[in-house]
Amino acid sequence: MAGAVAPPCAACGGVRFHPRFEKQRYRFVGCDGCSLVRLDPLPDQEALTAFYDESYRSGIYATFASADAVRMATAAARIATLLPLVPSGPWLDVGCSTGSSLRAAAARGLDAEGIELSQAAVDTARAAGLRVERVAAEAFRPARAYACVTAFDLLEHLLEPGELLARVRSWLLPGGCLAVSVPDTNSAAARLMGRHWYFYAPPVHVQYFDRASLTRLLARHGLRASRIVSAPKVITLDYAVSVLAGFDARLHRIARALVAPLPRRLRQRLVKLPVGEILAIATPQ
C-alpha cells in the first residue's frame, strides 16, 4: 500500500535497512542492526496465500509435493536428528505441507498432527490418513499441549515470524521444545553463489536468516536456541535440477547440462547434501 510504513526487522526490531541486491525484479535489503535479509517491500498475505495454493497445483511446489521418496528421506533424517534431543510426548508440525514429516514421525511411533494453509496440501495429507487441520497459526486453538513443535522450512515464508513463535510457547508442555529449519545466508553455498543462491527465491521466501539472526529472533520471543546444526537434505540429482527450474532459470540450465550425461541410476540415487540449511532447537527461557 502506498505510504505504508515498513515493519521493523523480525530478528532485532530495527527500522533501518540498506540495499543488498535485486533478483527477479524483487529488491532485497539487509537490516542495519543485525544480519537479517528480507524483501522490500514485503508482499501482502492475500497474494502469498493465493501464490502457494497455485504453486501446489501447478507451480514450483507441485514438483516438491510429487517427489515422495525425496520428501520422506529428508523428513526421516530430520526426525532421526531430533528424537534424541527432545522430550517424549505428542508432536505438532506447523506448515506440514502434504505430511511427509508426520509420516516419518508415525513410522517412529510418535503421536503427531499438523496444521497447514494450502488446501491442496491438506487434501493430500488427509488422503494418506494423517491428522491435518487447515488453519493459520494465529487461528489455531490446540486441544492439547505438545512435547515438540516443528516448523520445517517455514519461517522464511512468514511476513511476521515472531507472531508464530510467540504462540508456540503457549502450545508447549513443560520442558517442551520448538524445532525450526531455515536457509542459512552465511552458509558456504550462499556466500559462494551470492544473489544466485537458490534459496533467494522471491516471493516464496520473504525473510532470510543466519545463525545469529535466527538466535536473535528466537530470543526476542522468549525462546533460547539450545542447539543449531547443519540440516542437509536427502535428494536426488534429478530432483535438485527440477526444483531449480522454479527458483532460478539460469542455474537450472547449467545444472541440467551437467547432469544430463550421467546414468539414470546415479541421477536417481538418494544422497544427503548440505544445501545451506540449519536446524535450531529452542526452549522457553
- Contact status, residue 115 vs residue 125, Cβ threshold 8 Å: no
Domain extent, residue 42, equals 17-284
pLDDT above 70 (res 140): yes
Answer yes or no: is 193 within a domain. yes
Answer yes or no: is 257 within a domain. yes
Helix (H) / strand (E) containing 183: strand 172-183
The total domain count for the chain is 1
What pLDDT score does 59 carry? 54
Percent of the chain whose predicted confidence (pLDDT) is above 90:
69
- Mean pLDDT, residues 133-152: 95
DSSP state of 42: P
Residues with Cβ within 8 Å of 217's Cβ and at least 6 positions away in sequence, in order, are: 10, 11, 36, 155, 161, 162, 165, 209
Answer yes or no: is 12 within a domain. no
- Contact status, residue 152 vs residue 98, Cβ threshold 8 Å: no
Give the tens place of pLDDT for each residue, 212-250: 999 999 999 999 999 999 999 998 888 888 877 767 778
pLDDT above 80 (res 8): yes
Answer yes or no: is 9 within a domain. no
pLDDT above 70 (res 196): yes
Answer yes or no: is 210 within a domain. yes
pLDDT above 80 (res 64): no
Give the tens place of pLDDT for each residue, 146-179: 999 999 999 999 999 999 999 999 999 999 999 9
Query: For the domain that residue 225 is a member of, what is the CATH number?
Result: 3.40.50.150
Answer yes or no: is 4 within a domain. no
